[in-house]
Structure 1
Amino acid sequence: MRVKDQMENIGIEEEKGSDWGKSLPVPSVQELVRNDPRSVPENYIQHQQDRPDVSDMASSSFHIPIIDFALLVKGDGDETRKLDLACKDWGFFQIINHGVAEDVLLKMKAAIAAFFGLPLEEKNKYAQAGNDFQGYGQQYVVSEEQKLDWCDMVFLITFPHEIRNLKYWPDTIPGFRDAVESYSKEAWKVANEICTNISLLMGMDKDGLKRFYGKTKQAMRMNYYPPCSRPDLVLGINPHSDPDIITLLLQDDEVPGLQIRHKDKWILVKPIRNAIVVNVGDVLEILSNGVYKSVEHRAITNETKARVSLATIKIPYDELEIGPMECTVDDRQPRMYRNIKYLDYVRYTLGRKMEGKAHIDNILKIESS
């Protein structure tokens, strides 16, 4: 089916929520720490080979590629080349001078902190229900035997407006909805501009990607990582790549925690005040036929300080069939991935625990002969 026809057939089912599957309910990590700060339950203790090394958690950290967004928008050749190399070699970069006002960033971070400052019974009013991944709770919990993330989260769909489910949007926190609205609008513009530049780098006109995936959705994952008495035993989020087009991450300026796998080594990403971290998602890796890389990443914890972060994701509509775009396939770069409906892919990934790049490698990679 043509993309245009797919988009015309998208309809009422989107209004019911994500319908991407469900995650098993687990206790609030924040409450576990509040009740017993020194205890680390067994189901949070990672297997020996998966625990962060002391060297991984050292205070020394690394600057991933930094792109001046204001120059990128103006078509600056140096910034465009940096974007290309960052997407190919790193899968991650930070943008500065992105035009999102500091006040908008601060209010968004304050809104997240305010939610997680609520009593548990109040937070539970916004708990996930049924097959909808929106709300307060956890994701990727599919087995009682798996190792859990040292993290609580809230997941909200923010755009388009007609598929928001406002029952998950706290109405008891002054300014929460306004903060989400303001930041969502700015993140939407930034993500679209990045995709415009990537379209040009892929040899299309500026609307090339947009024409392929048509309308997109935007969602937010608000993360709260409580302090942990044994940060060497746990992970805030297990290694994974993102099943989206691109992700914009608003980090905690004071408490680092994001690590990316680069050249088989875990690198702690040093926060830059008011910068936004951007990473390539699985969908863009597939569309670019592997030229741009969605990279494995994880979060570590801190012994004395809580950390908050906000991942804003750009995702296709469920019915879109994704696969390598024609402009990315030739004799030198044969097709590397099978086609798949996005809903099928996201259900596959969310129906399993986080396992690095296993999702995209196991079901979509075409083995070379």
Structure 2
Amino acid sequence: MDPNVENGSMQGDEPLGWGKSLPVPSVQEMVRKDSQCVPERYIQEHKDRPVETEMCPTSSEIPVINFSLLVNGDEDERRKLDLACKEWGFFQITNHDVSEEVIKQMKAAVAAFFELPLEEKRNYAMAANDIHGYGQGYVVSEHQKLDWCDLMFLVTSPPKYQKMKYWPVTIPGFKEAVEQYSTEILKLTEDIFANISLLMGMDKDALKRLHGEMMKQGIRMNYYPTCSRPELVLGVGPHSDASSITFLLQDDDITGLQIRHEEGWVPVKPIPNAIVVNIGDVIESWSNGVYKSIEHRAVTSVTATRMSIATFVIPDDDVELGPVETMADDYNRPKMYKAIKYVDYLRHTLSKKMDGKANTELLKVEIESN
């Protein structure tokens, strides 16, 4: 295997993780060597290409929530949150408590990692049996279409679940920047959960309790190189998140994220220092489908490399999914989702390539036809 081309995979006798992904070529390195080449394996089927899918009207934009008003109990802002979760599944938060300096340092740490030589990045390659580390996710077949993206995935909280061998030691301040950002996102999470809990008819600490003894957090750092034929590829294919909730930092100047809305795709225009938030499959299940996780994808650019940082909040492995009592009753709102352990759902999603909302079918009650 050519070390200049392949991400590679570290072997080992580690216990079973959440899932695994096959080693594939580094897109960043491929573009560095030949910026005009788009190998066949990255060219999407016609139906999946970004230019051939209807876009929503340019006036469509995801809701923006003033976080400061929300946490101070503003009822209008809470109603906006409710509407955003029901009708969009996505929103951006402004006036939050994550400082501009913390965001700047986090983005710099991610950029510094992807600037490392490939040989050094390969020291942090994903293990053969788990998704921590550097590589590409959801690659389960030698024949599937690939994303135009390299990634680094780290479990950041609680500390006992951090696998430090995947944390780059040669980048000054990397660990400190990631841990500081992680801590700030945990604070945001608790405030968002408190408000969604109240909207779901529960006490403000309910969603946090539902996550089990240790609410987990993982950060996926994405690198999308330039592409000479962006109309043929996808940075990340359409999918919903297997998290309870996801926080995304975008590049300030490049629009790459698109979400499905009313049968079309809406580009999520970055707002400097805002954080994009989206509902994951877990809250869809707990809310009995009132709040739905939404398909989203990333597109690429001819002229600009793009990076993004997705922070996933997930429950303990043994936490049970399925509608909470306040979101279901036998007469008006029957249970549409069944009881399943979170770890079983997560391993199911990681055993398949990304395919829109297909994975959530595992969560749903089978309705008998007459």
TM-score by length of 2: 0.93
1:58-88 C-alpha deviation (Å, 9 max, x unpaired): 9957531000001100010111000000000
Query: Cα–Cα, structure 1 residues 181 and 64, in superposed 2: closer, same or farther, change >3 Å?
Result: same
Identity of aligned residues (%): 61
Q: Which residue of 2 aligns with 1:267?
A: 266
Structure 2 CA distance for partners of 1:314 and 1:341, relative to 1, 3 Å: same
Q: Which residue of 1 aligns with 2:17?
A: 19
Residue in 2 that maps onto 1:117:
115
Q: What letter matches 2:239 in structure 1?
A: H
For 1:277-316, what aligned pairs fall within 5 Å after superposition?
277-316=276-315
Q: Check if 1:101 corresponds to 2:99.
A: yes
- Alpha-carbon distance in 2 for matches of 1:18, 1:316: 18
Instruction: List aligned pairs for 1:216-295, cutoff 5 A.
Output: 216-295=215-294
The 1:147/1:276 distance shift into structure 2, 3 A limit, reads same
> In 1, distance between residues paired with 2:338 and 2:308?
33
TM (norm. structure 1) is 0.93
When residues 93 and 187 of structure 1 are mapped into structure 2, their CA distance, relative to the original with a 3 A threshold, is same
> Which residue type is aligned with residue 47 of structure 1?
E
User: Which residue does 1:12 correspond to in 2?
Assistant: none
Query: Counterpart in 1 of 2:359?
Result: 359
In the alignment, structure 1 segments of 5+ residues that lack a partner are 1-15
In structure 1, C-alpha distance between the alignment counterparts of 2:251 and 2:60, rounded to whole Å: 15
Post-superposition CA distance 1:103-143 (Å, at most 9, x none): 10011011111100110001001111121210000110001
Question: What residue identity is the alignment partner of 1:300?
Answer: V
Aligned length: 354
Could you say what the CA RMSD is over the residues aligned between the two structures, in angstroms? 1.7
Seen in structure 2, the aligned counterparts of structure 1 residues 252 and 58 have a Cα distance that, compared at 3 Å, is farther
Cα distance, 1:230–1:355 mapped onto 2, change above 3 Å: same
8 A Cα contact 1:17 1:165, kept in partner: no
1:367 Cα offset (Å): 2.3
Partner of 1:4: none
1:58 to 1:202, Cα distance in 2 relative to 1, 3 A = closer
Separation (CA, whole Å) in 1 of partners of 2:201 and 2:249: 30
Q: In the aligned structure 2, how far is the partner of 1:332 from the partner of 1:55?
A: 36
Residue 339 of structure 1 corresponds to 339
In 2 relative to 1, CA 150–222 (structure 1 residues): closer, same or farther, beyond 3 Å? Answer: same
Which deviates further from its counterpart, 80-89 or 206-215?
206-215
Offset at 1:17? 7.6
The Cα shift of 1:362 comes to 4.5
1:221 and 1:364 mapped to 2: Cα distance? 27
Q: CA deviation at 1:357?
A: 0.3
Distance change >3 Å, CA 213–CA 139, structure 1 → 2: same
2:342 maps to a residue whose letter is Y
The CA deviation at 1:36 is: 0.7
8 A Cα contact 1:134 1:157, kept in partner? yes
